[in-house]
Structure 1
Amino acid sequence: MLRIRNPILVRLLSSSPASPIFPPHRLLSTAAAAGPPKPSFAIQEYLVETCGLTRARALKASAKLSHLKSPYKPDAVLAVLAGLGLSGADIAALVAKDPLFLCSGVDTTLGPNLAELTGLGLSRTEIACLVSLVPACFRCKSIVSNLPYYLSLLGSYENVLRLIKNNSSILRASLAKKVKPNVAFLQDCGLGACDIAKLFIGVPWVIGMKPERLQAMVACAQGLGIPCGSGMFRHAMSAVRFHGKEDVAAKLDYLKKTFRWSDAEVGIVVSKVPYALVRPKNMQRRSEFLISEVGLEPAYIAHRPALLTCSLEGRLRPRYYAMKFLKENGLLKRDLSYDTVVKFTEKVFMEKFICPHKEAAPHLAEDYATACTGEVPTRFRFA
């Protein structure tokens, strides 16, 4: 909780959220009217007693604010934040996140930015959320200039907020050099406004990357047989993000050898599960288990690539051993394919294959739970 000793600020910070917050000059002059600053100003104490930071956080934040000689600027900033309706806890979190926000120029940057956002039609609550999310951006003069474009591009403030949460740098990205050329390129690739919005929200780092890099990544994704408009496209972009053509080719070759796939089969897998390219070496153990232990044919796996997205320790192995136990002990009414068994949700799997056998196999649930932790029991007990 904010503990303000300045009586003017106490009234400002405890006022109704419905009170007007503009113009900021009045908040600044009101805070200043409380009287001249005290001879000595202990920033660490100010952060604890006025901003509500813990001692540990105040100590860390004070290193960036050692140049402050009076509470004049911080008091004015706190008054503006309170006028936006931020609670004491919200303000403490904001200051801890960006201590330099207390040095913002209310007249030169913070106030004008807030006024322009209000002019765009954003409510007090929406502005407060934005300030809390990206406080550092409000210390710059460029935050508002990019926002109208993003609102138009993404269709709503909620979508813009989702994008900013994952990539706050877009508010300072160059529209002319990066964002607009990237949008134009994606439109040329056949993506509509809705598709582009979904892509940027799902893969937020794409929007502000260098156009030539984006074009190379799209070409690489398309080379894997994944068109721009497909549901797998954003996953493909993530999969090839840090890799060039040669690196991707090497990963494809590794997967082919590991699972004994043909060119066509590895193409099927990657087009449906681009994730397989991200960590191909993790596929070695999956291959050994699925082919050598479970006995699946490479082609079977290739046409059911979802198997590669499941946890080896958490799902693939435990379910295989549970089903093997049930079959060997005559408790399995019908023989289901391994792929079908793996697809069941955990709740359904328990209801169908574990819970019904509490009497016939009292240790089955315990052994299955143990297997799901990654520790495969030496045997499934039967009593």
Structure 2
Amino acid sequence: MCSHLSSQLKRAIYSSFFSPPQYHFHYHYHHLLRSPLSTQTQPKELPFIADYLISSFGFSLNRALKASTNRHLTVIKSPAQPEAVVKFLTDTGLSHTQIKSVVSLRPDLLGYDADKILRPKVREMMEKGFPGEVLVQMIRYSPVVLKLKDTLARLLFWRDFVENNDKALLKIILCNSFMFTLNINTHILPRINLLKEYRLSNGDMVSVLGTKNCWGRNLVSLRRILDLIEELGIPRGSGMFLTSLKAIAHLSIGKIKSNAEFFKNTYGWSQEEVCAAFQKYPNILTFSEENVRSTMNFLMSKAGFEARSIALRPRILGCSLQKVLIPRYTVLSALESKGLKKKYSFFSACLASERRFREIYVVPYEKDVPGLGEAYAAAYGGKVPV
């Protein structure tokens, strides 16, 4: 993902920002990006930029009309301005598909002066040593950064944060590109300081950037989540603390506690058993009641397990009922009925990879149990033999 542009290509791109712009384009330049015109009935006199967005970037009529009211786009009366921006994006290294994505996210970018605003900003970042791949992905996923006055300062902050690791910097861009739009002093630093209190390293923080609502939470809510993880028995600074944060950061405190109460009220688990299960498998408090009920009912009524024994092996609740539990139970029951495999662990069998399960429980017995492979395949497809 982080392969850099060749030195020759980087020099070519770099030189393009210092060379006098040559804007001898024609309207057909965008035919490479052209999508079919909207079939909707269009008004007799469509604003130029709306027609341009429809014909060159495949916008719907409604989207194009809405975009055309933007103050940066209303003044555009010819293709020269937007084509200059497309030329700039091409020079920066974006493909035609990526340019369409950028324009789709921020059509108003077509109204910005490529020579006075956009090129100087990218030139400045290149002079500070940011590789072309980082710039391409940043613009592709968060084009709004081209409009911010302090884009370079934000990039320098995050580069220092990841200790000049371009791969980690790209991970921030790909996982949560909106991070570059958040104010460093008022939003980012307070959360970094809070996470450090719970002994998360910079690398840990980067790994949770893609976790929905972790960085978007207000400080009070984020601290409550961190405190709750400790209350459930996970010590701060441990590897499982980070795993737990990734698992439950997208949930509200109320939802997490409600899920814990469900196990207590429905299956008689104690608070200690809920905590022990969470410590082994934090995702257990993220499943819907409907899915848990279906899986627990199968394990208890069909496979013959007690509710509290499942609390000791909570990972089993993360297995798909239709694609893992039922098919594998079918195979194991068939082997047991034939006296071919009397000793086995249902939990271990269900947690094994698909390849490992077939190697241990299916392939060696296909001659002794004709049709075993077909029966397993049928069960895997939801057609459980009676």
Residues matched between the structures, number: 348
Corresponding position of 1:262: 270
CA contact (8 A) 2:182 2:188 kept: yes
**AA paired with 1:62?**
A
CA RMSD of superposed structures (Å): 2.9
* Structure 1 range deviating more: 314-323 or 221-230: 221-230
Assess if the C-alpha contact under 8 Å between 1:163 and 1:204 holds in 2: no
Normalising by structure 2, report the TM-score.
Answer: 0.80
8 Å CA contact 1:226, 1:233 repeated in 2 = yes
* Pair 1:78-2:80 in alignment: no
* TM-score (norm: length of structure 1): 0.80
1:144-293 counterparts in 2 under 5 A?
144-155=152-163, 156-200=165-209, 202-203=210-211, 205-237=213-245, 238-244=247-253, 246-281=254-289, 282-293=291-302
User: 5+ residue gaps in structure 2?
Assistant: 1-10, 27-45
Encode CA deviations 1:107-164: one digit per residue, 9 max, x unaligned. Answer: 4532232122113211234322321222233233243221111111123232122122
What is aligned with 2:139? 131
Q: 1:22 aligns with which of 11, 14, 17?
A: 17
Q: Percent identity?
A: 26
Aligned residue type for 2:314: P
Change (3 A) 1:373 1:228: farther
Equivalent pair of 1:224/1:270 in contact (CA under 8 Å): yes
Q: CA deviation at 1:346?
A: 0.9
SS at match of 1:31: coil
1:77–1:102 CA contact under 8 A, matched in 2: yes
The question of whether the paired residues in 1 share the 8 Å contact of 2:134 and 2:170 is answered with no
Residues 355 and 365 in structure 1, CA contact (< 8 A), matched pair in contact too: yes
What code does the residue aligned with 1:359 have?
K
2:111 equivalent to 1:109: no
Counterpart CA distance in 2 for 1:255 and 1:337 is 24
Q: Structure 1 residues 48 and 192 mapped into 2: Cα distance closer, same or farther (>3 Å)?
A: closer
Return the offset for 1:32: 7.6
Deviations 1:76-117 (A, max 9, x none): 212212222333343334334433222223245322321221
Do 2:51 and 2:64's aligned partners in 1 also have CA atoms closer than 8 Å? Answer: no
| Distance in 2 of aligned mates of 1:345 and 1:33 | 56
Moved over 6 A (4+): none
Deviations 1:203-241 (A, max 9, x none): 364235322221121112211112332333344334253
Compute the displacement of 1:327 (Å).
0.8
For 2:316, the equivalent position in structure 1 comes to 307
Deviation of 1:59 after TM superposition, in Å, equals 4.9
Residues 365 and 270 of structure 1: CA distance in aligned 2, closer, same or farther (over 3 Å): same
Letter in 1 for 2:293: Q
CA deviation profile, 1:149-203 (whole Å, cap 9, x unmatched): 1111123232122122222221111211221011112222223333333333x53
Q: Secondary structure, in 3 states, of the residue corresponding to 1:22?
A: helix
Task: Tell me the CA shift for residue 269 of structure 1.
Answer: 0.6
Q: Give the corresponding residue for 2:42.
A: none
Does 367-376 or 146-155 show the bigger shift?
A: 367-376
Find the aligned partners of 2:327 and 2:199 in 1 and give their Cα distance: 44
- CA offsets, 1:265-297, max 9 Å, x none? 111111222212122402112211112221123
Give the 5 Å matches for 1:8-19. 17-18=12-13
Where does the alignment leave 5 or more consecutive residues of structure 1 unmatched?
1-15, 35-39
SS of residue paired to 2:86 = helix
CA distance in 2, matches of 1:31, 1:165: 32
